[in-house]
């Protein structure tokens, strides 16, 4: 396991109470028994029933994780520091060499990317360095010029800027120099005082005196009176002339239009396509607040860290969080039939014929001699009551009942009273849209090449059931055909009467119901007495009918 890496414990899409509560409980178990950081997550929106349960036991909802595809933050970023736009080309080049970087992002004081420069841009700046007014055009600061030639400002304001004139070599006789030195020029000079005086009198803005030559007091005083700058450098005039263009601030050469910047939460399949269409080798990455954090290149794809997951309450690919194939599954804990998920290597897979994953969690606490926190005991008890329809479902076993009773004692709740409140909260759908109701507890199933979907909602009374029925039918018609779904079914289950009104839509749906249950569908629905479990009563009969 990677050090300091989070491992997500997550249930299926359109999570129910068992899916959410079991994820919270197993994250607690793992954090108390193994090294690492285990975090409960959810792959969809929480329904009304689960929301009631979480609030009742004062437990925050798990964070939302709709997609486990690899993201930029799962890559080893190149932590090249951002540079200020005033940095000289020389300093930028040195910084890039120190960090083995080919791209240097330029950032403002808040850390936001405002441009970038590449080694190619710097090389091009040398090839194009024919214009001796370039330093002035780039508004180069005097202290940057001094730093570039390893010099020292002995007269003048180091914070000033060279903004007019050209760069010239003042190595001729004074009378010759007078003909080509203009006002505001920057003049590279030797140790002859008469040459220095000539440049002063020509109103040059800056004098660079080479080979560490002495500058007399008189020359210094005259320069100071005229607000001129004198820089002393140990280098000869050829070296200074060769280096001086490196003092230009990088903002003069940086690219600032149409920048390609990635966010840490961007998915890698998206950025891969963008990378192949641009010429840059490295790209700036910012965090979710827009602050620069590093660069990424194509070779970083070699070091992608897949998200690590533990799945609870499902093992079907169609029910799993999006892009599950890009993640590394470490464990699966479930109570459903063996589904279609595949793993790259052997994993711990615990699948038990009980009515609820929460029952398995209760048993794991006992096996590991862990005390169950009162609030988590309440969550697990609620999950069992929900999945077994308060012990009425045929999926319910004696182990589920025993677990629920013991958990109720720890949580200090009375089972029947709490269950009534929970189910009523779950069936209060007046504020929800048909889409929200439809996907509250909806699962997709595939038999051979046929895909069909089955949703379910449980009610305490027939009146509540009929209200939802009228709202669901139009939406079922709309959804059929999407995502390869050929048939759509919805179970409106009456807990008290232990029966289900099954809504049907799609070509062949009526025939499938008749083959499976011997019941005729009229007006897109039929009554299934004694049928309350999707997992144990509806899906197995559908599967058998389809396979025959």
Domains of the chain in start order, with CATH, are 6-70+307-426 (3.90.1640.10), 74-126+252-303 (3.10.580.10), 139-247 (3.40.1390.20), 434-547 (3.10.310.20)
Scanning the structure block, which residue is given the tokens 């850390």?
Answer: 111
Rounded to the nearest 5°, which phi and psi values hold at 351?
Answer: -130, 115
- CB-count burial class (<10 Å; 0-12, 13-18, 19+) for 245: buried
Q: Report residue 300 as tokens.
A: 């970083």
The pLDDT of residue 548: 78
The pLDDT of residue 128: 64
The pLDDT of residue 129: 62
Tell which residue, 371, 368, 369, 395, has the closest CA to residue 384.
395
How many residues in total does the chain contain? 548
DSSP SS3 for 315: coil
Dist. CA 250–CA 90, nearest whole Å: 9
**478-515 burial, b for 16+ CB within 10 Å, e for fewer?**
ebbeeeebebbbbbbbbbebebbbbbbbbeebbebbee
Question: Which ranges of the chain have pLDDT less than 70?
Answer: 1-4, 128-130, 175, 464
Dist. CA 107–CA 341, nearest whole Å: 45
Scanning the structure block, which residue is given the tokens 């499976």?
Answer: 516
Cut 0.75: pTM above it: no
The pLDDT of residue 12: 95
Give the per-residue SS3 of 12-57: CCCCCHHHHHHHHHHHHHHHHHCCCEEEEEECCCCCHHHHHHHHHC
Q: What is the pLDDT of residues 277-295, one digit of tens each?
A: 877 788 999 999 999 999 9
């Amino acid at each position: 396991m990677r050090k300091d890496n989070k491992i997500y414990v997550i249930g299926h899409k359109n999570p129910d109470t068992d899916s959410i509560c079991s994820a919270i409980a197993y994250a607690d178990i793992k954090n108390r028994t193994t090294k690492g950081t285990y975090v409960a997550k959810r792959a969809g929106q929480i329904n009304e029933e689960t929301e009631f349960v979480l609030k009742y036991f004062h437990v925050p909802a798990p964070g939302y994780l709709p997609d486990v595809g690899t993201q930029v933050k799962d890559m080893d970023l190149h932590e090249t520091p951002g540079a200020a736009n005033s940095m000289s080309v020389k300093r930028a080049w040195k910084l890039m060499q120190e960090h083995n970087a080919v791209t240097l992002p330029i950032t403002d004081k808040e850390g936001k990317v405002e441009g970038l420069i590449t080694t190619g841009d710097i090389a091009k700046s040398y090839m194009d360095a024919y214009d001796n007014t370039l330093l002035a055009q780039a508004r180069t600061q005097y202290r940057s010029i001094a730093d570039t030639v390893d010099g020292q400002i002995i007269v003048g304001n180091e914070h000033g800027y060279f903004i007019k004139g050209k760069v010239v070599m003042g190595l001729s006789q004074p009378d010759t120099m007078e003909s080509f030195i203009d006002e505001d020029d920057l003049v590279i000079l030797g140790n002859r005082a008469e040459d220095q005086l000539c440049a002063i009198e020509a109103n040059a803005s800056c004098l660079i005196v080479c080979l560490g030559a002495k500058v007399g007091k008189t020359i210094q005083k005259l320069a100071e009176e005229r607000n001129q700058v004198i820089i002393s450098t140990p280098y000869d005039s050829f070296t200074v002339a060769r280096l001086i263009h490196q003092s230009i601030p990088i903002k003069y050469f940086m690219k600032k239009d149409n920048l390609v910047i990635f966010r840490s939460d961007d998915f890698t399949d998206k950025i891969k396509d963008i990378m192949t269409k641009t010429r840059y080798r490295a790209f700036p990455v910012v965090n979710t607040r827009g602050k620069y954090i590093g660069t990424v290149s194509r070779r970083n794809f070699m070091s992608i860290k897949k998200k690590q997951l533990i799945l609870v309450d499902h093992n079907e690919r169609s029910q799993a969080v999006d892009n599950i194939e890009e993640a590394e599954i470490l464990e699966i804990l479930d109570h459903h039939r063996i589904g279609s998920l595949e793993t790259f290597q052997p994993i711990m897979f615990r699948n038990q014929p009980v009515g609820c994953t929460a029952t398995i969690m209760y048993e794991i606490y006992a096996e590991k001699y862990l005390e169950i926190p009162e609030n988590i005991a309440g969550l697990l008890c609620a999950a069992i009551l929900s999945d077994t329809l308060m012990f009425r479902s045929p999926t319910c076993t004696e182990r589920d009942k025993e677990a629920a009773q013991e958990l109720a004692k720890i949580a200090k709740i009375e089972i029947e009273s709490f269950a009534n409140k929970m189910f009523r909260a779950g069936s209060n759908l007046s504020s929800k849209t048909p889409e929200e109701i439809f996907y509250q507890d909806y699962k997709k199933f595939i038999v051979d090449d046929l895909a069909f979907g089955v949703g379910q909602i449980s009610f305490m009374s027939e009146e509540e059931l009929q209200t939802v029925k009228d709202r669901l039918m139009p939406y079922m018609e709309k959804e059929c055909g999407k995502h390869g779904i050929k048939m759509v079914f919805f179970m409106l289950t009456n807990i008290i009467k232990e029966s289900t009104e099954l809504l049907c839509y799609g070509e062949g749906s009526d025939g499938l119901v008749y083959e499976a249950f011997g019941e005729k569908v009229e007006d897109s629905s039929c009554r299934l007495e004694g049928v309350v479990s999707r997992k144990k009563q509806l899906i197995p009969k559908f599967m058998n009918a389809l396979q025959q």
